């Protein structure tokens, strides 16, 4: 995101759009939060901060989870909190090692539901080397929070010679994704009680540390990774293109979208390119290594439907161009929408 500290934050009250990962979130971060806290690390606005601690590099991130409903097809708020934190960390190429967990619980929240969430958290961490090493619990009066909110932070360590960052992206890089998009957003939406029809869509919520590990073993030329969460695939491509001053071509017919997901998006007038994922990594890799990385991704259980979806075409102002199945072209922009609040 472009940082312009001279811009004033003009809005008078906080609205849901300030939390949707789109234009208004950008304004909140750039024009209000960075005004108070801006520094050379935070200003990068990456999924994780990379710190230098006595000569050792450490990745550090934080996240909060307010998803509604707390149990949804393919996961729950507990699994989501672990996956979200892990995926933010692994975008730097690090190995997640430690996490904090804080719960904000609403008075009256059923203990069996809480235990179900705790068990789910435990099961999700089994897949990884991650330990929960610290935490906190607060309980608020009924009505002051909705059932359960979770806050996390995470720390990861780096192997030798791993340097992955948007600034490493080069012209010619291929862009890959590890499977169908928009599954988390549409799964949450269709499991909301106000949404009265059944679908078989399941959230893609998954910890991607093992897949990223496999990818890093397959190639030393992975330049950048990005977790395509809020705002969907289009928004993160837009942000990366802007930040790295490159132009990108994406091929519509190569982007995996499950038929049912596409159907529900069409029905509701939503664009799958802008719908949240919780287990999708966008990968920028040197074109010579693209097939190697694709193969490694496909071997992992979270990357079976991986695809090469586009390429970096040139240095530029940050245009993301979608080439449609008809061969026509259009620009993908950062979009404004708050249609799906409390998605994560």
Partner 1 sequence: MKKKIKELVEFLNKNKPVRSINIMEVCGTHTMAISRYGLRQLIPENINLISGPGCPVCVTPTSDIDWIIEIARQYDVSVFTFGDMFRVPGTESSLYNERSRGRDIKICYSPADVLNFAKNNPDKKVIFIAIGFETTVPLTSVIVKRAYKENIDNFFIYNTHKLVPEALELLLVDREVKINAFLCPGHVSVIIGSKPYNFIAEDYHIPCVISGFEPMDILESIATIIRQINKGIAEVEIQYRRVVREEGNPTAVKLMYEVFDKSDSLWRGLGNISGSGLKLKNKFLKFDAKTFFPVKRIKSREPAGCECGDVLKGIKKPAECRLFSKICKPENPVGPCMVSSEGSCAAYYKYEKLKV
Q: Does 61 bind partner 1 (CB under 8 A)?
A: no
Least separation in angstroms between CB 333 and partner 1:
7
Q: Does 129 bind partner 1 (CB under 8 A)?
A: no
Q: Does 28 bind partner 1 (CB under 8 A)?
A: no
Backbone angles phi, psi at 336, to 5 degrees: -105, 125
Which of these segments, 71-79, 144-152, 193-201, 255-263, binds partner 1 (CB under 8 A)? 193-201
Q: Which of 52, 196, 200, 259 binds partner 1 (CB under 8 A)?
A: 196
Least separation in angstroms between CB 67 and partner 1:
17
Size of the site for partner 1 (CB under 8 A): 26
Are 137 and 96 in contact, with CB atoms under 8 Å apart?
A: no
The 131-140 sheet, strands edge to edge: 49-53, 56-65, 148-157, 95-106, 131-140
Q: Between 17 and 178, whose beta carbon lies closer to partner 1?
A: 17
Spatial CB neighbours of 73, under 8 Å, sequence gap ≥ 6: 187, 190, 191, 200, 201, 202, 203
Q: Between 189 and 297, whose beta carbon lies closer to partner 1?
A: 189
Note the helical H segments in 192-308: 209-218, 232-244, 259-268, 290-299
Q: Does 24 bind partner 1 (CB under 8 A)?
A: yes
Spatial CB neighbours of 262, under 8 Å, sequence gap ≥ 6: 272
Binding to partner 1, residues 248-287 (CB under 8 A): 268-269
CB atoms within 10 A of CB 304: 11
User: What three-state secondary structure class fits 140?
Assistant: strand
Q: Between 37 and 336, whose beta carbon lies closer to partner 1?
A: 336
Q: Between 225 and 255, whose beta carbon lies closer to partner 1?
A: 255
Q: Between 136 and 333, whose beta carbon lies closer to partner 1?
A: 333
Spatial CB neighbours of 53, under 8 Å, sequence gap ≥ 6: none
Which of these segments, 78-86, 155-163, 194-202, 283-291, binds partner 1 (CB under 8 A)? 194-202
**Residue numbers of the site for partner 1 (CB under 8 A)?**
13-17, 22-24, 194-196, 268-269, 321, 324-326, 328-331, 333, 335-337, 339
């Amino acid at each position: 995101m472009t940082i312009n500290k001279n811009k004033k934050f003009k809005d008078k009250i906080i609205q849901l759009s300030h939390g949707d990962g789109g234009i208004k979130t950008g304004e909140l971060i750039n024009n209000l939060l960075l005004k108070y806290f801006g520094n050379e690390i935070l200003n990068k606005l990456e999924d994780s901060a990379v710190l230098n601690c006595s000569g050792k590099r450490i990745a550090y991130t934080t996240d909060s989870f307010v998803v509604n409903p707390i149990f949804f097809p393919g996961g729950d708020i507990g699994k989501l909190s672990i996956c979200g934190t892990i995926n933010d960390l692994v975008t730097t190429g690090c190995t997640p090692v430690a996490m904090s967990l804080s719960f904000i619980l609403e008075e009256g929240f059923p203990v069996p539901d809480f235990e179900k969430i705790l068990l789910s958290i435990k099961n999700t961490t089994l897949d990884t080397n991650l330990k929960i090493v610290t935490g906190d619990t607060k309980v608020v009066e009924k009505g002051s929070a909705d059932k359960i909110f979770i806050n996390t932070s995470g720390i990861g360590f780096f192997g030798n010679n791993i340097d992955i960052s948007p600034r490493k992206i080069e012209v010619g890089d291929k862009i890959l994704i590890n499977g169908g998009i928009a599954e988390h957003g549409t799964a949450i939406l269709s499991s909301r009680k106000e949404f009265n029809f059944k679908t078989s869509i399941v959230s893609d919520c998954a910890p991607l540390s093992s897949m990223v590990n496999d990818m890093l073993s397959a190639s030393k030329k992975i330049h950048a990774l990005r977790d395509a969460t809020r705002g969907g695939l289009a928004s993160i491509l837009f942000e990366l293109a802007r930040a790295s001053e490159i132009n990108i071509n994406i091929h519509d017919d190569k982007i995996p979208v499950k038929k049912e997901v596409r159907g529900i998006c069409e029905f509701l007038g939503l664009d799958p390119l802008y719908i949240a994922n919780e287990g999708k990594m966008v990968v920028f890799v040197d074109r010579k290594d693209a097939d190697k990385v694709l193969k490694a991704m496909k071997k992992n259980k979270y990357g079976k439907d991986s695809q090469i979806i586009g390429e970096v075409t040139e240095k530029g102002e940050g245009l993301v161009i979608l080439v449609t199945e008809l061969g026509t072209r259009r620009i993908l922009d950062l979009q404004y929408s708050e249609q799906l609040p409390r998605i994560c």
